[in-house]
Amino acid sequence: EVQLVESGGGLVQSGGSLRLSCAASGFLFSAYWMHWVRHSPGEGLLWVARITSDGSSTMYADSVKGRFTISRDNAKNTLYLQMNSLRAEDTAVYYCTKSFEYWGQGTLVTVSS
C-alpha cells in the first residue's frame, strides 16, 4: 500500500524558514517523480515544485522560485521542501504527491505577518 506522510509544518513568522518532509513507503520511491502541491482557501490547489526520480532536475512555480527548494533522499525514501523567506501568502496545507495519483494527508504551514 502506497503511503505518503508529511511532517514539518507549523507556525512561522514572515521571513522565516521551514523544512517539510514526506516519508514514502509501499512503492519504489527512487523510480518516480515527486511533487509538492499546496491548498489554501483563497487559492485552491497550486502546484509548487517537482523533482525527477534521481533528483537531478527540479522545477518550481513562479511564486516560490528562488525561495523554495525541493530535494529527495532515495536511500531514506524521503522527499523534502525547504521553504525560505516565507510570506503570509504561503500559508496553506502542503501535500506531497506521487504522480498526482497518491497524496499524503498534508501538513499545515501558517505564516504570520
Residues that bind another protein (CB under 8 A): 35, 37, 39, 44-47, 50, 59-62, 95, 97, 100-101, 103-106
CB of residue 56 vs another protein: minimum separation in angstroms? 16
Nearer to another protein, 18 or 96 (CB): 96
Nearer to another protein, 27 or 60 (CB): 60
For 13-79, give the DSSP string.
ETT--EEEEEEEESS-GGGS-EEEEEEETTTEEEEEEEE-TTSS-EEE-TTTTTTEEEEEETTTTEE
Would you state the cell numbers that stand for residue 50, as one nine-digit string? Answer: 517537482
Nearer to another protein, 56 or 62 (CB): 62
CB of residue 16 vs another protein: minimum separation in angstroms? 25
Q: Is 88 helix (H, G, I), strand (E, B) or coil?
A: helix
Nearer to another protein, 49 or 111 (CB): 49
